C-alpha cells in the first residue's frame, strides 16, 4: 500500500474531475466517489496482496501520470494509422483515452447495432449505461479497477441486439501518444440473446517494437515513451449468444499497462478470449469470467518477454451453475532478463455439478536469466466434476534440436524453428486473417533471429 502516492493522484483528481464524462449524473458521480475513496484508502496494489505478490507496480508510483487532452485527426499520422487498422473490420479509434469518430471506420455497420463513445453513451443513453457499468467489474476487487472507475475519461459502448450475427469484427484500436500520458478507458460490450460478435482490442503505441517498423514511423518516434494505460472492458453475453474477444497488447517498451476484461455469461452462452501480450515495461492482464448453466468458455494466451519486461496474466473462471465447460491454454516465451507471471484460478461453486474444466500453462525460457512464476489453482466445492490442470517450465528439448540437426539444419536455425513452432500454436488459433498476420509480424519483431522465415509460421 502506498497511500502517499494515492494522495498525490487524489489531489490531482480534483482538478480533472469537472471534465470527466457523466458528472451531471448523480449515480455515476456517486460511483466515482466510492471508487476514489477505495483507491485513496489502499493505493496501488502491493506485493503483500496475494494476487499481486509477483508483480511490483512501484514504478507507477514514482511518476504522476495525468490524462492527456483529446487530439484531433490532424494530430495522428494518417498513413501510420491505416497500417494498424484492420481491413474488413469496423474500427473504433481511441487516442489517449478519448474516442475519435473522425478516425473511426463504421461504414455499413448495421443500424441496429449501437456503437458510440462512452462519453456520448452517458449523454444519450445514461439509463442503459447505468444498468451495465460496474455490473461485471467490481471496483472493490482491487485498486486498478477502482482507479479506472474514478478516472475513466472515455471508452466505447457496443450493443449487439438479439439474433443479429455480425459478419465482420469490430476493432477497438487504443493509441497513446506522448510521454507521461495516462489513458483510462471503460468499455462495455453487450451481445443479447442469440447474437454473435467478434471484437478485437489492440493497444498500440507509435514507438512500440511492432508499430515503429510500420509505414509512417520515423527515427524520432522510435525512442520509447513512458505512459500508463488503465483499461477495463465489461462483456455481457446473453443467453445462447456467442462472443469472441481478441486482445493484442503492443505498448511502448517503457509503458505501464493494466487491462482488465470482466465477462458475465448467461445460460448456454459461449465466450472465447485470445490474449496476446507483447509490449510494455510492466503489463498486467486480468480476465475474469462468470459462467451460467451449460455455458462454455475458452481462454487462450501467448506472452512474449524480452529485455527486462514483466508480463503478468491473471485469469479467473467462476463456474456458478451446472454443466458448464471451460478450457484454458496459456503459453509464454521469455528471453534475456524478462519475467513472466501466470496465475490461473478455476472456482467451482457448490451448485455447479457436472462441471468440465481444464487449464494448462506452458513456458519456454530462452536464457538462464529469464524467469517465470506460475500458479494454477483449482477450488472445487462440488463433488461431481471433471477438472484438471497442468504446468510446464523449461528450455528447448535438446533431443528435438539434435533431431533437426541430423536433418541438415544448423543448431541456431533448429532452435529458432522450435521456438516459433511453440508460439505458433496460439497464433494459429486466430481465425481473422488481418489479425493473424498482425500477430505473426509481432512475434517475428519480438524475436528477429537469423534464419527464421514467416512461412514456417
pLDDT score at 220: 42
Higher-pLDDT residue of 3, 221: 3
Alpha-carbon gap, residue 59 to 433, rounded angstroms: 37
Tally of CB atoms within 10 A around 41: 12
Question: Among residues of the chain, what percentage have pLDDT more than 90?
Answer: 71
Tally of CB atoms within 10 A around 222: 14
Closest by CA position to 230, among listed 118, 157, 153: 153
pLDDT, average across residues 85-107: 95
Contact 287, 314 (CB under 8 A): yes
Q: What is the pLDDT of residues 181-206, one digit of tens each?
A: 899 999 999 999 999 999 999 999 87
Q: Does residue 270 register a pLDDT over 80?
A: yes
Instruction: Find the DSSP H helices in 280-410.
Output: 398-405
Q: What is the pLDDT of residues 292-341, one digit of tens each?
A: 999 999 999 999 999 999 999 999 999 999 999 999 999 999 999 999 99
pLDDT score at 221: 45
Amino acid at each position: 500500500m502506498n497511500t502517499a502516492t494515492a494522495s498525490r493522484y487524489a489531489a490531482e483528481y480534483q482538478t480533472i474531475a469537472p471534465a470527466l464524462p457523466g458528472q451531471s449524473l448523480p449515480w455515476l458521480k456517486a460511483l466515482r466517489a466510492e471508487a476514489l475513496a477505495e483507491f485513496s484508502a489502499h493505493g496501488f496494489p502491493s506485493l503483500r496482496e496475494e494476487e499481486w505478490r509477483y508483480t511490483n507496480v512501484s514504478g507507477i508510483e514514482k511518476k504522476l501520470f495525468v490524462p492527456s487532452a483529446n487530439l484531433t485527426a490532424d494530430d495522428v499520422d494518417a498513413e501510420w494509422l491505416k497500417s494498424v487498422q484492420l481491413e474488413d473490420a469496423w474500427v473504433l479509434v481511441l487516442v489517449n483515452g478519448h474516442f475519435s469518430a473522425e478516425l473511426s471506420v463504421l461504414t455499413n455497420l448495421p443500424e441496429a447495432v449501437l456503437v458510440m463513445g462512452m462519453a456520448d453513451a452517458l449523454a444519450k443513453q445514461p439509463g442503459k449505461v447505468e444498468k451495465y457499468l460496474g455490473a461485471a467489474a467490481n471496483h472493490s476487487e482491487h485498486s486498478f479497477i477502482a482507479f479506472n472507475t474514478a478516472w475513466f475519461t472515455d471508452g466505447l459502448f457496443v450493443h449487439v441486439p438479439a439474433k443479429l450475427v455480425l459478419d465482420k469484427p469490430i476493432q477497438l484500436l487504443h493509441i497513446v501518444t506522448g510521454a507521461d500520458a495516462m489513458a483510462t478507458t471503460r468499455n462495455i460490450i453487450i451481445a443479447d440473446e442469440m447474437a454473435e460478435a467478434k471484437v478485437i482490442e489492440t493497444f498500440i503505441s507509435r514507438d512500440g517494437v511492432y508499430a515503429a517498423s510500420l509505414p509512417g514511423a520515423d527515427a524520432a518516434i522510435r525512442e520509447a515513451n513512458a505512459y500508463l494505460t488503465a483499461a477495463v472492458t465489461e462483456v455481457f453475453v446473453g443467453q445462447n449468444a456467442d462472443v469472441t474477444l481478441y486482445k493484442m497488447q503492443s505498448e511502448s517498451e517503457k509503458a505501464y499497462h493494466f487491462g482488465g476484461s470482466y465477462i458475465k455469461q448467461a445460460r448456454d452462452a459461449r465466450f472465447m478470449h485470445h490474449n496476446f501480450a507483447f509490449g510494455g515495461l510492466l503489463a498486467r492482464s486480468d480476465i475474469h469470467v462468470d459462467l451460467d448453466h451449460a455455458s462454455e468458455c475458452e481462454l487462450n494466451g501467448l506472452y512474449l518477454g524480452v529485455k527486462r519486461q514483466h508480463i503478468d496474466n491473471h485469469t479467473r473462471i467462476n463456474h456458478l451453475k451446472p454443466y458448464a465447460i471451460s478450457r484454458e491454454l496459456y503459453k509464454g516465451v521469455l528471453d534475456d532478463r524478462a519475467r513472466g507471471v501466470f496465475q490461473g484460478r478455476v472456482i467451482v461453486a457448490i451448485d455447479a455439478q457436472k462441471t468440465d474444466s481444464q487449464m494448462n500453462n506452458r513456458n519456454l525460457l530462452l536464457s538462464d536469466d529469464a524467469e517465470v512464476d506460475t500458479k494454477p489453482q483449482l477450488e472445487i466445492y462440488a463433488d461431481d466434476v471433471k477438472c484438471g490442470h497442468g504446468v510446464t517450465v523449461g528450455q528447448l528439448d535438446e533431443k528435438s534440436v539434435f533431431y533437426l540437426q541430423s536433418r541438415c539444419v544448423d543448431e541456431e536455425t533448429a532452435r529458432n524453428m522450435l521456438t516459433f513452432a511453440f508460439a505458433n500454436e496460439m497464433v494459429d488459433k486466430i481465425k481473422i486473417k488481418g489479425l493473424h498476420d498482425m500477430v505473426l509480424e509481432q512475434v517475428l519483431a519480438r524475436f528477429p533471429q537469423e534464419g527464421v522465415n514467416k512461412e514456417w509460421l
